[in-house]
Amino acid sequence: MTQKPVTKDTLFVLDPHNHIVDESPRFCPPCAMVTGYLHYYPEVAKQLDVITVSPVRPRRQIIEQIGEENQGSPVLILADESTVPDDIDVQLFDGRRFINESRAILKYLGQTYHAGLPL
C-alpha cells in the first residue's frame, strides 16, 4: 500500500469527553500527560498536527497510518523528514515511523522542538 507523505509530525490522542464505562466518564492517563505537555508548551502544539480520536476500537484514522496492531494511543507519527535522536525508540510500519510510548513522545517533542524534557 502506498501512503501519502507525512509532512508534519502527527499526534493522535484519545478524546477525553467521549468514553463512558459503568456510567462514569473515563480518560486515558498517558494521553492526558501528552495533552498536558502541549498545554505547557503551546509553541510545540502549533508545530504538530494533533488529532483527537474516539477511544472506541477500531480507531480507523490510526489504523490507516500504522496498521490495526498499532492503534494504541497516544501515538506520534513522524514526518518523513523528521530526525529522531538515537536514544528514542521508534517503531516502523510499512515504511512509516512512529513513537507509541508517552514518555518517549515527550522526550522527542522536547528535543526536537526545543521545549521542556521530562524529569
What ranges do the domains of the chain cover?
10-113
What average pLDDT does the segment 22-40 reach? 93
Specify whether the CB–CB gap between 46 and 9 falls below 8 A. Answer: no
For β-strands 10-14 and 49-53, DSSP reports them as parallel
What average pLDDT does the segment 73-102 reach? 97
Which helix (H) or strand (E) covers residue 38, if one does?
Answer: helix 29-40
Q: In this model, does residue 25 exceed pLDDT 90?
A: no
Q: Please tell me the predicted confidence (pLDDT) of residue 1.
A: 56
Q: Using 50, 70 and 90 to split pLDDT, how confident is the model at 12? A: very high
pTM beyond cutoff 0.75: yes
Catalogue the long-range contacts made by 19-28 (C-beta closer than 8 Å, 24 or more residues apart): 19/54, 19/55, 19/56, 26/55, 28/55, 28/73, 28/74
What average pLDDT does the segment 106-115 reach? 98
Largest Cα–Cα separation, the chain: 44
Q: Please tell me the predicted confidence (pLDDT) of residue 2.
A: 67
